[in-house]
Structure 1
Amino acid sequence: MGLPQFPNGRCSLLLESPVNFTIVTGASKNHWCPLQAFLLTLNKTLKSLPEKIKPEIVVYDLGLSSAQRQELNQLRVEEGLFDELATFNYTKYPSFWNLKVNRGEYAWKAGIIHEVSKTHPGIILWMDSGDRVLPNFLANIVHFIKRNGFYSPTSSGDVRKWTHPGLFQYFHDDMEKYAEEPNCNGAFIGLDSDNRQVRESILEPFMSCALDKDCIAPEGSSRINHRQDQAVLTYLVLKNKFRCTDEGLAGLMIHKDGDCKSQIEDHRRQLGS
């Protein structure tokens, strides 16, 4: 499907009707710098979008310090960088979701997306705090997901390299059917929870798998041979005839955590000028 293009990096497409969507991210105290930079750069991007495609922005506290949480609330109230601060309730979920042990097997990401689908149904964009987006990408992707139900870019390697065989055993499926397919990218997951096919074939199975360690993190798996949430997502996408792609979708950058200090310093200089 062809995607609308936006000249000079700005959105010129006016959708026929307003599109409500939600951007969600989360961070613990060791990702405080990237979280701030994410919110600052996202705010710049959103200023270039028509009012009718402005999102609701939800930030999940995955283990911030009290001082960080206080400062984050100031960014919400004083600068309007996001709309809602939610505290992730680990006690509602299995103990292996504990972020301090193997990063909680990244299962909490499925939990957050599922929670947001209940509180903010419709188009949901999970974005890691290292993500950066240009206006044309954000406008394009909302349009794309509205029409197609799901989007995630690809990541390096293939299914064989980054999926432990135990996942296929769990689903009673054959790895060789998918082995050479590219992986989806857990850094950016976009879906429409109002799309019945997406809800039943991706969203709900993603959550169900995340609740069972034998599914999302089979015995013998590690970051050396498995990508937890990303591996499960990729399998569900391929099984249900969706696909992850980068084709025709410029303007998304991932793993930009390293620029967080410079982004924050630039913002402070602008405030002081």
Structure 2
Amino acid sequence: MPGLASNAMIKPFKGAVYSQVWINRNAVDLRTAVCGSIPEEWRKQFSKIRLDQPIQVNRKSRNTNLTDETFQSFPVIGGVSGNHVREIEDMLSSVAVTMPKRGIIIYDIGMSNAKKIFLQSHCNVAVNRIRMDLFGDLVTHIRDYQWKALLVYSAFLKFDGVLFSDASIRYKHSLDELPLVRNGVGYIGMEVRDYSPAGAFTHDGMLEAFGVSRESVATSPTVIGGSHIWFKQGGDVASTVLTHLVACSMRKACIAPEGATLPNCNKTERLSGRYIGCHRFDQSAISVVTEKAFPKGLSNEQCLIEALNFIHVRRRGTGMYPPCIRNSSLSPELV
């Protein structure tokens, strides 16, 4: 397995807080690499997308010759609020152990300065601020998860590709050798069997916004919202899927329709064909978008993997991996 052994002793870095990583042999200042904002022209562009129309993907533009070097340059990105700092430390540690050369960009969606400094003391991590004057209305209600697709898109414009990762994700091993990068289509999702089929976890309001029936998603897989990969060399596939996901995220009636809630989930009824009371917000949206874009099935498009083959999901701090700290003077007591 590439990377550090799980029991490796990691010496603390004695220099300044790290803010650069090497991407495509160039030093990148992660503090300014991605602005984390949604310019007005973006809003106009996405407002024109008709979500209730078929999603047309130009499959002729595919270029699947993605090199290892390019794939390994994709940064891991995620967003975190103050109450998830301990949880995301496990994710950062798992990246440092399994994929030690990857840069990590964490977006601040509500942290104290002390917590930001603490996270930035970890290996290859930079914390970016979100410009509240341009982005603030989309993170007012964090649990609507509008911000996730927006962060992916802003990073996607800057880099050759991105790996999105929630605070709860812990990578079991490196994704660098993932076979699908050789023949994928620019987007790699992870199916979470516990939350399939997608229709059971999708509110009627979202289905109406996308112009699809519950029957059309009654057997489609649920694509996990916590970890997915986007790369540009898949041609128009990734950008088409991602723009529709962003367009939904910028419309509250789509991403968080009235009456949609996350609790009260009766998973025992998930195969009934009915909505079972818990809407998964961004996870539901990405599942519906990919179903529309790939009506013959994601597995047939070679862009879907079984989530639990690559990740653990843990919604708390566990210490599963040794933390990779560069500056020992930035004490964990800060958080």
Both proteins in one fold, TM over 0.5? yes
Residue equivalent to 2:237: 198
Residue equivalent to 1:23: 76
Q: Is the 8 A contact 2:96 2:324 kept in 1?
A: no
* SS of match in other structure, 1:139: coil
| CA 30–219 in structure 1, closer or farther in 2 if over 3 Å, else same | same
| CA 42–96 in structure 1, closer or farther in 2 if over 3 Å, else same | closer
| CA 35–16 in structure 1, closer or farther in 2 if over 3 Å, else same | closer
- Extract unaligned runs of 5+ from structure 2: 4-65, 264-277, 329-335
CA displacement at 1:255 relative to structure 2? 2.3
| CA 126–146 in structure 1, closer or farther in 2 if over 3 Å, else same | farther
Distance 1:10 1:222 in 2: 40
**Greater fraction of residues in helix:** 1
Equivalent of 1:243 in 298, 305, 319: 298
Residue equivalent to 1:253: 312
Q: RCO higher in 1 or 2 (8 Å CA, sep ≥ 6)?
A: 2
**% same residue:** 21
Distance 1:94 1:85 in 2: 17
Q: Is the 8 A contact 2:203 2:260 kept in 1?
A: yes
Q: Is the 8 A contact 1:110 1:210 kept in 2?
A: yes
1:32-51 paired onto structure 2 within 5 Å: 32-47=85-100
Query: 1:153 aligned to 2:154?
Result: no
Residue equivalent to 1:3: none
* Aligned CA-pair RMSD: 2.7
1:1-273 paired onto structure 2 within 5 Å: 9-10=1-2, 18-19=69-70, 20-47=73-100, 54-75=101-122, 81-93=123-135, 95=137, 97-98=139-140, 101=141, 103-120=142-159, 122-135=160-173, 137-141=174-178, 143-145=179-181, 147-148=183-184, 149-155=186-192, 156-157=194-195, 158-224=197-263, 225-241=278-294, 243=298, 245-247=304-306, 250-255=309-314, 257-260=316-319, 263=321
Residue equivalent to 2:36: none
* SS of match in other structure, 1:18: helix
Task: Write the deviation string for residues 3-60 of structure 1: whole angstroms up to 9, x where unpaired.
Answer: xxxxxx348xxx965222121122111011122222223212124xxxxxx3332111
TM-score by length of 2: 0.64
CA displacement at 1:257 relative to structure 2? 2.7
Q: How many equivalent pairs are there?
A: 239
Distance 1:267 1:191 in 2: 26
CA displacement at 1:213 relative to structure 2? 0.2
Task: Write the deviation string for residues 207-261 of structure 1: whole angstroms up to 9, x where unpaired.
Answer: 111110011111221114211101110011111116274459833222253414x
Q: Is the 8 A contact 1:192 1:198 kept in 2?
A: no
* SS of match in other structure, 2:257: coil
Q: Is the 8 A contact 1:145 1:192 kept in 2?
A: no
Distance 2:282 2:306 in 1: 23
| CA 179–90 in structure 1, closer or farther in 2 if over 3 Å, else same | farther
CA displacement at 1:130 relative to structure 2? 1.9
| CA 166–256 in structure 1, closer or farther in 2 if over 3 Å, else same | closer
Q: Is the 8 A contact 2:99 2:176 kept in 1?
A: no
Q: Is the 8 A contact 1:59 1:82 kept in 2?
A: no
Task: Write the deviation string for residues 89-144 of structure 1: whole angstroms up to 9, x where unpaired.
Answer: 3432363531xx3x340111011101111222x22110112211133x41233x52
Bigger shift: residues 152-161 or 213-222: 152-161
Q: Is the 8 A contact 2:79 2:106 kept in 1?
A: yes
